[in-house]
Amino acid sequence: MIAELMQARQGSHAYEVRVGDGVPDAAAALAREWESVALVSCARVLRTPFGKRVRAALARAGTCKLVHVLPDGEKGKTLAEMERAAVRLLKSGATRRSLVVALGGGAVTDAAGFLAATYMRGVSWAAVPTTLLAMVDAALGGKTAVNLPLAKNAVGAFHPPVAVLADPVSLRTLPDREVRSGLGEVVKYAALRPELLDRVREAARAGRTDAGLVAACARVKMEIVERDPTERGERKLLNLGHTFGHGVEAAGGFARYTHGESVAVGLAFAFRLARVLGRVDGAAVEALESVLAAARLPARVPAEVARRAARLMGYDKKRTSSGLQWVLPRTLAGGSWAVEWDIPADARAVQESVKEIGRRP
């Protein structure tokens, strides 16, 4: 495959999602359509061969007026960094008709997307995701955000990009931990679409994800987002593993566990909670955890982290006054499962699952 082109649709807004070769040239072609372009990335990505190629391609396009370097990772996702970046956009002459190109992992696409959503009350942006996590999740669907000290993604906006350009070649230079982290979201898609389980398990064992699997995951997300752009219903499915997962991420100070590792633990938690509630049997938990193991992703955390995660998930955006609503699997006839949203769980079942997830020291 050279490149798979898909059309994403959110309400009246449509944009192209491209997965495959040739992203630097595609980014340059896009940049030529805009009167000015600002590249927003981070040092870690700009050092890679792929980062250098995209930057050079944008420079050749002639409209790139600014390269703004966010701090690596979650450190770039703060309101203070948004102020610094917006001031640089302003000084570079960026107008309402400028394009922000976000080049990087999920932290960069989340932050640069939010910058674009709010700079002059909204400018266009394109995502060039460089991690598996960003390709199959963060860069798709138009959710943008920064973190508060207490809670991830607690400040943000819905602001879909004008294009998503994903080149799996960028995954080759990622550190092993980052690749495994990305598999956390890929395993989520397999949990949502069990027919993908074997394919994901194989990719996890091989430690490699090809463009075909990236495109398959992206398609699951895009289809769900198209049917429910503002997360009134079905889109909540994409939060599978994220309620407890965000708690784990916050409990580790957004540093100890990557997002994908946190989601992995959150997926294991969701399946165990579903088992405690009698929704699935032990085989479903085992099937899910075997894929996590193949990807060398954690399914458990130390007991004190699990307890702290349980407390912190109280700050989750998905909370309502009647408590957390869960996204949980339910066994179907034949042994497979379907995932459902807006499922309540009593405190005792949650506590029981927190205990299962927590390792004794």
CA distance 130 to 170: 5
Told to check if 330 binds a copy of itself by CB under 8 A, we report no
Q: Among residues 3, 69, 86, 303, which is the contact residue for a copy of itself, using CB under 8 A?
A: 86
DSSP for 54-72 reads HHHHHHHHS-EEEEEEEPS
Q: Provide the β-strand partners of residue 125.
A: 100
Residue 256 bears catalytic tag: no
Residue 185 bears catalytic tag: yes
| Closest CB 156 distance from a copy of itself, rounded Å | 4
CA distance 128 to 108: 10
DSSP state of 36: -
Nearest one of 299, 328, 324 to 191, comparing CA atoms:
328
CA distance 59 to 38: 11
Contact 77, 111 (CB under 8 A): yes
CA distance 263 to 247: 10
Q: Provide the β-strand partners of residue 128.
A: 103
Q: Among residues 73, 156, 182, 252, which is the contact residue for a copy of itself, using CB under 8 A?
A: 156
Told to check if 154 binds a copy of itself by CB under 8 A, we report yes
Residue 220, SS3 per DSSP: helix
Residue 235 bears catalytic tag: yes
Residue 259 bears catalytic tag: yes
Pick the piece of the chain touching a copy of itself (CB under 8 A) from 85-93, 166-174, 182-190, 209-217: 85-93
Told to check if 71 binds a copy of itself by CB under 8 A, we report no
Pick the piece of the chain touching a copy of itself (CB under 8 A) from 84-92, 166-174, 263-271, 282-290: 84-92
Nearest one of 354, 340, 331 to 273, comparing CA atoms:
354
Residues in region 174-193 near a copy of itself by CB under 8 A: none
Place of tokens 């860069």: 139
Residue 221 bears catalytic tag: yes
Q: Among residues 157, 169, 293, 303, which is the contact residue for a copy of itself, using CB under 8 A?
A: 157
50, two tokens: 């792929």
**Does an H or E element contain 359, and which?**
strand 358-359
CA distance 274 to 63: 52
- Give whichever of 45 and 94 is closer to a copy of itself, judged by the CB atom: 94
Told to check if 208 binds a copy of itself by CB under 8 A, we report no
Contact 83, 76 (CB under 8 A): no
CA distance 251 to 314: 12
Q: How many residues does the chain have?
A: 361
Residue 249 bears catalytic tag: no
Told to check if 35 binds a copy of itself by CB under 8 A, we report yes
Told to check if 56 binds a copy of itself by CB under 8 A, we report no
Residue 143 bears catalytic tag: yes
Q: Among residues 59, 75, 158, 293, which is the contact residue for a copy of itself, using CB under 8 A?
A: 158
Residue 91 bears catalytic tag: no
Told to check if 7 binds a copy of itself by CB under 8 A, we report no
Told to check if 347 binds a copy of itself by CB under 8 A, we report no
Residues in region 110-149 near a copy of itself by CB under 8 A: 117-122, 143, 145, 148-149
| Closest CB 219 distance from a copy of itself, rounded Å | 24
- Give whichever of 12 and 175 is closer to a copy of itself, judged by the CB atom: 12
Told to check if 232 binds a copy of itself by CB under 8 A, we report no
Residue 239 bears catalytic tag: yes
Give the number of other CB atoms < 10 A from CB of residue 6: 16
Interface residues toward a copy of itself, by CB under 8 A = 35-36, 78-80, 82-83, 86-87, 90-91, 93, 95-97, 117-122, 143, 145, 148-151, 154-158, 315, 317, 319-321
Which residues participate in catalysis according to the annotation? 121, 143, 185, 221, 231, 235, 239, 242, 246, 259
